[in-house]
Amino acid sequence: MKNHIFAVLCAALCLAVQPLCAALQDDLRLLDNALAQKQQFDRQKEERIHALEARQPLTFAEVQQLFDEYKSYNYDRGKHYADMLVQYAEQSGDARQLYEAQCDQVFALLSAGLFKEGYDLLQSIHIPAEDTLGRVNYYIISARLMLDLAVYSGEKYATAYHAEQRRNYEQATALLTPKDTFLYNYCMAAVAEFEGDWTGSITHHRRSLKSSAASPHDTAVAYSSIAFAYQQMGDRNMMMHYNILSAVADIRSSTKETISLRRVAQTLYEDGNLSPAAGYIREAKEDAEFYGARHREMELMQILPIIDAENAKLLQSQNRRILGWVIVSFVFLLITLAAVFLLYRRMRQIRAARATIEEMNSSLLVANRLKEEYIGTALCWQSQYLGEMERYQQMVRKRIQEKRYDDILAIPKNADAHRQREEFYKRFDEMFLGIFPTFVADFNALLRPGEQIVVKKNELLNTELRIFALLRLGVTHSEVIAQVLDHNITTIYTYKTKVKSRSDLSNDEFFRRLMLIPSFAAGKKY
């Protein structure tokens, strides 16, 4: 459920913890107003997308437009259209279209945190020296990759990655003309950062904002970079101001792959303003989940429990102070009644906070136990398989040593393959339903009445359900699904098509709801 209403109210609540300056309060009101219109912005974006997708067959330029719409909005759809661009380019034989499409693929992979895959693909791209713009885009995406690797690889490797990042920006800058474009000033700002010239970085970013070519997403990126520069200069107020502007630009452009809102929440948390921090961090987590950026989700999950725990402690502390005030002011009837009412409200907040924390802790404990159990089961299964293989090896070796060659031929080839395959299905079904216990019922809810999938009496899942179970786990390549289930790709496509035809939902909506089928610790979201 959307949390922007909570975020809108929490700015006022935080005043009880630490007063906010008037300018920051104004900025937070701007952010809260944007959050209140978030659904409207997203709806407008969806309408643009649907209008584009309705144009069939799509041209290369139209597919490029769809990628641009999706690339910072939804990873799966963005990656889909990036792949389609590559297919179009390969079919047309246009080399320029091909490497431009491959660069789009790299962008999608990096946005989802798939850095190795993005690096491998980037290394395979070769852009002719005469294609200036193509090489500029290549250098910029390479710089983005180096930054991500520096951030997530640790201090040991960060220096080398930053050095390569700087070289990429310098190479891009050398190629760019004229000198008043968004890209030129963006790259110059990046070079200034490496030189420690934070004032110069801010100047170039402000120039880039004046460019007519700057998109709403470009604006958000520039604001975020200015905020970082002010942070390095020790100006916390200006850092917060531009991070909020960046977050507002992200919301208005329906950008879900973003870090600005998280940075706003983190700063508020560090300053002791826990309530708005919790509201904003939940908004950021919701965006990361919608986009499919797992590395962003992990970053947010690290801070959210801390904020909730600190918020609970804060409520407890406030409750104790209020109780003391009630006792001291007991002689005054009106004050006593007001204090009792406030105490009751605070106690409800504490119970709610405690319940939330206890629920989260319980879910984590169950998840850990389930993980340990499944890991142990997998290891035992593998051990049994290896033992069986060793037994067959010993049997064959013994007959060879005894020169009983006819007996070797008598050993049935892959005698237990069918049994092992059935055992694999059984173990997979048990493990999967342990994680998604309501999967069968929830999946059937996506199908028309009377056309639901019914498993046999002694089965947990059948082939059709296993295909979509693997899709729910994130296994999207049909080749992999075919290998796991011991079918050919054509059979997998046939099963998928047959099942989807039994639903009134569109393919996109069907897949979206499939991915929302909850695990054992989650409730339904649709």
User: Could you give the number of structural domains in the chain?
Assistant: 1
Q: In the prediction, which pLDDT does 117 show?
A: 94
Residues 6+ apart with CB under 8 A from 330: 336
Specify the higher pLDDT residue, 146 or 346. 146
Instruction: Report if residue 107 sits inside a domain.
Output: no
What is the per-residue pLDDT across 242-261, written as a single tens digit (0 to 9) for each?
Answer: 999 999 999 999 999 888 99
Q: In the prediction, which pLDDT does 347 show?
A: 67
**What average pLDDT does the segment 507-514 reach?**
92
Instruction: Report if residue 494 sits inside a domain.
Output: yes
Instruction: Report if residue 52 sits inside a domain.
Output: no
- Model confidence at 241, in pLDDT bands (50, 70, 90)? very high
Instruction: Report if residue 431 sits inside a domain.
Output: yes
Give kind and range of the element (H or E) at residue 400.
helix 333-401
What is the per-residue pLDDT across 374-421, written as a single tens digit (0 to 9) for each?
Answer: 455 554 555 455 556 666 667 777 778 777 766 666 665 545 667 777
What is the per-residue pLDDT across 278-300, written as a single tens digit (0 to 9) for each?
Answer: 889 889 888 888 988 666 666 66
Burial of 248 (0-12, 13-18, 19+ CB in 10 A): buried
Contact criterion met (CB below 8 Å) for 498 and 491: no
Place of tokens 């342990």: 434
Q: In the prediction, which pLDDT does 118 show?
A: 94
Specify the higher pLDDT residue, 391 or 310. 391
What is the per-residue pLDDT across 313-322, written as a single tens digit (0 to 9) for each?
Answer: 656 666 666 7
Instruction: Report if residue 296 sits inside a domain.
Output: no
Token reading at 447: 């199908």
Specify the higher pLDDT residue, 336 or 129. 129
Q: In the prediction, which pLDDT does 18 show?
A: 47
Specify the higher pLDDT residue, 233 or 353. 233
- Model confidence at 504, in pLDDT bands (50, 70, 90)? very high
Q: In the prediction, which pLDDT does 12 show?
A: 39
For residue 513, pLDDT over 50 is answered with yes
Q: CA 113, 114, 120 angle in degrees (round to 5)?
A: 140
Q: In the prediction, which pLDDT does 330 show?
A: 67
Instruction: Report if residue 445 sits inside a domain.
Output: yes
**What average pLDDT does the segment 15-24 reach?**
64
Q: In the prediction, which pLDDT does 396 show?
A: 73
Q: How many residues does the chain have?
A: 526
Rounded percentage of the chain residues whose pLDDT exceeds 90: 49
Q: In the prediction, which pLDDT does 420 show?
A: 74
For residue 448, pLDDT over 90 is answered with yes
**What average pLDDT does the segment 166-192 reach?**
91
Instruction: Report if residue 336 sits inside a domain.
Output: no
Measured N-to-C along each axis, helices 95-111 and 60-70 cross at an angle, to the nearest 10 degrees, of 20
Residues 6+ apart with CB under 8 A from 58: 52, 66, 84
Q: In the prediction, which pLDDT does 237 show?
A: 94
DSSP code for 519: -
> Domain of 437: which CATH number?
1.10.10
Instruction: Report if residue 145 sits inside a domain.
Output: no
**Range of the structural domain that residue 457 is part of:** 425-515
